A and B are shown apart, each in its own frame.
Chain A
Amino acid sequence: SYELTQPPSVSVSPGQTASITCSGDKLGNKYASWYQQKPGQSPVLVIYQDTRRPSGIPERFSGSNSGNTATLTISGTQAMDEADYYCQAWDSNTAVFGGGTKLTVL
């Protein structure tokens, strides 16, 4: 079955740029989505179709996808961005999620 691999954790200083990767076989040939989940809350879509931001999501969130890796980039990271982030793609009509990355802002 298809697998998406994310680093378990990423740390970033406030105001700096955080990059979270998501790796999968030929992931660049699929559309990647990204979700933010804060403790005790439901996931929220922050990037869809590799690079698009839903309305209400700050411009500091951006995405890219090429080759075997999709990347979520948060520019000027704020303390409120501390959360778990999940990538997601489709394979064989099944939605697959990455294992999640805990972003710590310190």
Chain B
Amino acid sequence: EVQLVQSGAEVKKPGESLKISCKGSGYNFTNYWIAWVRQRPGKGLECMGIIYPGDSDTRYNPSFQGQVTISADKSINTAYLQWSTLKASDTAIYYCARHTPGAFWFDPWGQGTLVTVSS
């Protein structure tokens, strides 16, 4: 079974750093893109960027360029999303999702990681 399992919920203060993870299993992790998607409370879905773990080719949505860093460690089938300086506006659920090269959809999705940034 193809599965993406994300790290647990985080509570952080503004200005702190954070790295969350997404571990793939049940498929060849290096051959599929991983996307990170933000969902702010009560709001819609926003694609932040995608990474190809095979060669770490990374493409950011212009709205998120410079705000976060997406990375991957193919040796442990894990993708990451990190912030160097969190803001209250980063409070959201973050999903990872698999994207097949040459395809146009995301499937499956991870269970989501709730990040709460509050003083």
A and B: bona fide binding partners: yes
Interface residues of chain A, those whose CB is within 8 Å of chain B, are 1, 30-31, 33, 35, 42-45, 48-49, 54, 86, 88-90, 93-100
Q: In B32-81, which residues have CB < 8 Å from any A CB?
A: 35, 37, 44-47, 50, 59, 61-63
Interface residues of chain B, those whose CB is within 8 Å of chain A, are 35, 37, 44-47, 50, 59, 61-63, 95, 97, 99, 103-112
A42 touches B45 (CB 8 A): no
Partner of A42, one of B44, B63, B99, B109: B109
Q: Could you name 13 residue pairs across A and B whose Cβ atoms are closer than 8 Å?
A: A31-B104, A43-B97, A45-B105, A45-B106, A45-B107, A48-B104, A54-B107, A90-B104, A94-B62, A95-B47, A97-B44, A97-B45, A100-B45
B95 touches A42 (CB 8 A): yes
- Which residues from A are CB-within-8-Å of B112? 42
A100 touches B44 (CB 8 A): yes
A99 touches B104 (CB 8 A): no
Partner of A88, one of B62, B95, B105, B108: B105
- Which residues from B are CB-within-8-Å of A88? 45, 105-106
B95 touches A98 (CB 8 A): no
A43 touches B62 (CB 8 A): no
Partner of B45, one of A30, A43, A48, A49: A43
- Which residues from B are CB-within-8-Å of A95? 35, 47, 50, 61, 99, 106
A86 touches B109 (CB 8 A): no
Partner of B107, one of A31, A48, A99: A48
Q: Which residue of B lies closest to A30 (CB)?
A: B104
Q: Which residue of B lies closest to A101 (CB)?
A: B44
A94 touches B47 (CB 8 A): yes
A88 to B109, CA, bound (A): 14
A48 to B35, CA, bound (A): 17
- Nearest-neighbour CB distance to chain A for B37, whole angstroms, equals 8
- Nearest-neighbour CB distance to chain B for A61, whole angstroms, equals 14
B105 touches A94 (CB 8 A): no
